[in-house]
Structure 1
Amino acid sequence: MAGYRDVLRTPGVGRIIAAQLTARFPNGMISLAVLLYIEHVTGSYGAAGLVLAATSIGQAIAGPVTSRWMGIWGMRRVLTITLVVCALAITTLALVEMPVPVYMALGLVIGLSTPPIQSAARTIYPKLVSARMLTPLFSLDASLQEIIWIVAPVVITLVATQVGTVQALLLIVVVLAGGGAWFILSPEVGRVRIPRSRRSLGKVLTKPPVLLATVIGFLLIGACAAVEAGVVSTFGHGGLEAGIVLALFSVGSLAGGLSFGHIPIGPWAMARRLAIVTIGLSLTMLSLQVWWLGGTLVLAGIGIAPALAVLFAMTSASVKFSDTAEAFGWVATGQLIGAAAGSSIAGFLIDGVGPQGAYVAATGFAAVGLLVAIVFVRGFPDLRRRDPSPIPDTEPVPQIT
C-alpha cells in the first residue's frame, strides 16, 4: 500500500481520480435506469432492450471518435460539448413521452455523446506521475472503478423503485453534470494538451499491443457481463442474494487490484491474471448455491482489475502520446461490445439450458482470452525494465497554463 500512498500524494492525482470516478459514476446507472424507465412507459422489456442496444451502439462508435477529437479541438471543448448534449438527451428521455423508434434515436444520441472521460483521464495520468508510479496508478484506477459497479446499480435501483424512474434518470443528469464539471475544470485537464494525431482513424489498431488490448478487453468484459446475467437469472432481479454475489465479484476485483498492482508487468502477466479469472469462473459451474458462487466469483474477481491494469499499461506504452486517447477509445469500445456480446450469448444459453449456461459462456470468454494471451505472448510488451509512458511525439507540445 506504500506505493499507492506515494501515488496519491502526488499533486493532482487524487483530485483527477476522484473527479473522473464521479463523472463516470452514471456509467453504472444508465443501463438499469433506461431499462426500468422504458419498461415502465411502454410495458415492454423488448422495447427497453432495443433502446439499450441503440445506446450501446452509440457508445461503441463514439469511443475512438470523440477521444480522437480531443487531440483536434482540445479536451475541455470536446468534454464540455459531449457532456451538455448527453445531459440534454437524458433529460429529454426522462420528461418527454414518445414512440419507441424515437426513444431508440434518443438512446443513440446518448451513446454517441457519452463524454470520453475514461480516455481523457488515462491520457492525463502519464503527465501527472513519474514513470515508476505509472503502473501502480493504472492498477489503482482499475481497482477503484469497481466502486462504480458495486454502488451505482444499487443506488439507481433504489431510486427507480422507491421514488420513480423519471427521478432516477434526472439523478443521472445531476451526477453527470456535477462530476463532469469537476473533471473538466480540474487544472490538470487544462494543462495537458493532446497533439493532433498524424495517423488516420483506426491506424492505431495496427499496433499489436493495442489490438491485443482491445480483443482481450472484449473477452474479459464479455465474461463479466455473462456472469452478471447468470447471477440475476440464478437469484432473480429482486433477490438480495444476487446483489451480494455481484458485490463479492467486484470486491474480489478491488482486492486483487490493490494487492497485485505493484507487480512489474512482463509478457506473461496477462496470461497469469486471466488464468485466475478462468479458474474461478470454471468453478462456478459446480454449484449454484449462493456462498459457493460468492466464493468462486471472489477468486475470479481477483484477476480482473490486475488484468485491466495490464491492458491500460500496455496500451499507454505502445503508442505515441498523440494517439493515446484514440487507443484508449478503441479499448473502451472493445469492452462495450464485449459487454453486449456476453449478455446476449448468456441470455440465449439461459433460455436454452438454464442459469448454468451463463457461467459456461463466462468461462468460455475467459478461456479464449487466456488462450489469446498465451498464443500471442510475444505481442505483449515487457514493462519490467521500462515504464508504461507513451512514446514521445517528435515535435514540441505546447502546454496550456
Structure 2
Amino acid sequence: MGAYRDLLQTPGVGRIIVAQLTARFPNGMTSLALLLHIEQVTGSYGAAGLVLAATSVGQAVSGPVTSRWMGLWGMRKVLTLTMVVCAVALLTIALVDMTLPAYIALGLVAGLSTPPVQSAVRTIYPKLVNSRQLTPLYSLDASLQEIIWIIAPVVITFVATQVGTWEALILIVVILIGGGSWFILSPEVGRVRIPRSKRRFGKVLTRPTVLLATVIGFLLIGSTAAVEAGVVATFGHSGLEAGLVLAVFSVGSLAGGLSFGHIPIGPWAMARRMGIVAAGLCLTMASLNVWWLGGTLLLAGIGIAPALAVLFAITSASVKFSDTAEAYGWVGTGQLIGAAAGSAVAGFLIDGVGPQGAYVAAAIFAVAGAIVAVACVRAFPDLRHRDPSPLPDTEPTRIIT
C-alpha cells in the first residue's frame, strides 16, 4: 500500500480522484432511474427499454466526439456545456409529462450530452504524477470506480421506490451539477491544456493498441453485463442475494486493483488478467448456488480492475497527448457497446435456456478477451521499464541560419 500512500500524498491527486468519482456517480444511477420512471409514467417496461436504448446510443456516439472537442475548445467549456444540457434533459424527463417519442428524444439528448469526465481525468493524470506513479494511479482509478457500481444503484433504487421516481431523477441532477462543478473548478482541470489534434477524427483507432484496448474493453464489459443479467435472473429483482453477489463481484475487482496495481505492465499482463476473469466466469457455470456464485465471481472480479488498468495505461502510452482524450473516448464507447451486447445476449439466452445461459455468455465474452490478448501479445507495449505517459506533441522548429 506504500505506492498508494505516496500517490495520494502527491498534491492534487486525492482531490481530483474524489471530484471525478463524484462527477461520475450519476453514471451508476441514470439507467435505473430512467427505467423505473418511464415504466411508472407509461406503464410499460418496453417503453422504458426504448428510452434506455436511446440514452445508451447517445452515450456511445458522444464519447469520442465530446472528448475530441476538449482539444478544440478546452476541457472546462466542453464539460460545462455537456453538464448543463444533460441536466436540463433529465430535469425535463422528470418534471414534464410527454409522449413516448419525446421521452426517447430527450433520452438521446441526455446520452449525447453525458459529460466526458472519464476521458478528461485520464488525460490529466499523466500531468499530475511522475512516470513511476502513473501505473498505480490508473489501477487505483479503476479500483475506486467500483464504489460507483456498488453504492449508486442501491441509493437510487431506494430513493425511487421509497420516495419517488421523479425525485430520484432530481437527485441525479443535483449530483451531476454538484460533482461536475467540483471537478470542472478543480485547479488541475484548468492547468492542463490539450493540444489541438492534427489527425482527422477517428484516425486514432488505426493505432493497434487503441483498437486492442477498445476490442478487449468491449469483451470485458460485455462479460460483466452478462453476469449482472444472470445474477438478477437467478435470484430475482427483489432477492437480497442478487445484490450481495454483485457486491462481492465488485469487491473482488476493488481488491484485485489495489493488490496488483503496483505490478509493472508487460506484454503478457492483459492475457494473465483476462485469464483470471475467464477462469472465474467459466466456474460459475457449474452451479447456481449462492455461495458458489459468490466465490467464483469474487475470483473473476479480482482480474477486472487490473485489466482495466492495463487498458488505460497502454492507451496512454501509445498515442500523442493531443489524441489521448479521443482515444479514451473510443475505449469508453467500446465498453458501452459491450455492456449493451452482453445484456442483450444474456437476455436472449435467459429466455431460451434459463439463468445458466447468461453465465455461458459471460464466460464466452471473457474467454474471447483472453484469446485476443494472447493472440495479439506482440502488439502490447512493454511498460515495465518505460514511461507510460502519452507521446509528446512535437512540431518542426524553424532554425535561423
Give TM class, smaller chain. Answer: over 0.9
Counterpart in 2 of 1:59? 59
Q: Encode CA deviations 1:31-84: one digit per residue, 9 max, x unaligned.
A: 100000011111111111100000000000000000000000000000000000
Cα displacement (A) at 1:291: 1.1
Q: 2:189 aligned with 1:189, yes or no?
A: yes
Aligned equivalents of 1:239 and 1:263: distance in 2? 38
Counterpart in 2 of 1:93? 93
Alignment of 1:78-227 (within 5 A): 78-227=78-227
Aligned equivalents of 1:223 and 1:180: distance in 2? 29
Cα displacement (A) at 1:203: 0.2
Aligned equivalents of 1:380 and 1:210: distance in 2? 10
Aligned equivalents of 1:368 and 1:276: distance in 2? 13
* Identity among equivalent pairs (%): 81
Q: Secondary structure at the match of 2:125?
A: helix
Aligned equivalents of 1:222 and 1:273: distance in 2? 16
Aligned equivalents of 1:272 and 1:373: distance in 2? 9
Counterpart in 2 of 1:270? 270
Cα displacement (A) at 1:183: 0.1
Q: Which amino acid aligns with 1:218?
A: F
Counterpart in 2 of 1:379? 379
Cα displacement (A) at 1:101: 1.1
Counterpart in 1 of 2:49? 49
Aligned equivalents of 2:142 and 2:252: distance in 1? 12
Q: Which amino acid aligns with 1:193?
A: R
Q: Which amino acid aligns with 1:4?
A: Y
Q: Which amino acid aligns with 1:44?
A: S
Q: Secondary structure at the match of 2:383?
A: coil
Q: Which amino acid aligns with 2:159?
A: V
Cα displacement (A) at 1:96: 0.6
Counterpart in 2 of 1:253? 253
Unaligned runs of 5+ in 1: 397-401
Aligned equivalents of 2:233 and 2:270: distance in 1? 30
Counterpart in 2 of 1:393? 393
Counterpart in 2 of 1:35? 35
CA root-mean-square deviation: 0.7
Cα displacement (A) at 1:395: 4.3
Q: Encode CA deviations 1:8-52: one digit per residue, 9 max, x unaligned.
A: 100000010000000000000001000000111111111111000
Counterpart in 1 of 2:10? 10
Q: Secondary structure at the match of 1:286?
A: coil
Q: Encode CA deviations 1:328-371: one digit per residue, 9 max, x unaligned.
A: 00000000000000000000000000000000000000000001
Q: 2:323 aligned with 1:301, yes or no?
A: no
Q: Which amino acid aligns with 1:236?
A: G
Aligned equivalents of 1:268 and 1:43: distance in 2? 50
Cα displacement (A) at 1:97: 1.1
Q: Secondary structure at the match of 1:383?
A: coil
Aligned equivalents of 2:101 and 2:233: distance in 1? 28
Aligned equivalents of 2:153 and 2:294: distance in 1? 18
Aligned equivalents of 1:296 and 1:365: distance in 2? 16
Q: Encode CA deviations 1:252-271: one digit per residue, 9 max, x unaligned.
A: 00000000000010000000
Counterpart in 1 of 2:348? 348
Aligned equivalents of 1:256 and 1:227: distance in 2? 18
Aligned equivalents of 1:229 and 1:99: distance in 2? 29
Aligned equivalents of 1:95 and 1:321: distance in 2? 42
Aligned equivalents of 1:395 and 1:176: distance in 2? 38
Number of aligned residue pairs: give it. Answer: 396
Aligned equivalents of 1:11 and 1:211: distance in 2? 33
Counterpart in 1 of 2:244? 244
Q: Encode CA deviations 1:193-239: one digit per residue, 9 max, x unaligned.
A: 00000000100001000000000000000000000000000001111
Aligned equivalents of 1:309 and 1:395: distance in 2? 31
Q: Which amino acid aligns with 1:110?
A: A
Q: Secondary structure at the match of 2:150?
A: helix
Aligned equivalents of 2:296 and 2:111: distance in 1? 33
Aligned equivalents of 2:241 and 2:336: distance in 1? 26
Aligned equivalents of 1:140 and 1:224: distance in 2? 19
Q: Secondary structure at the match of 2:98?
A: coil
Q: Secondary structure at the match of 1:233?
A: helix
Aligned equivalents of 2:118 and 2:299: distance in 1? 26
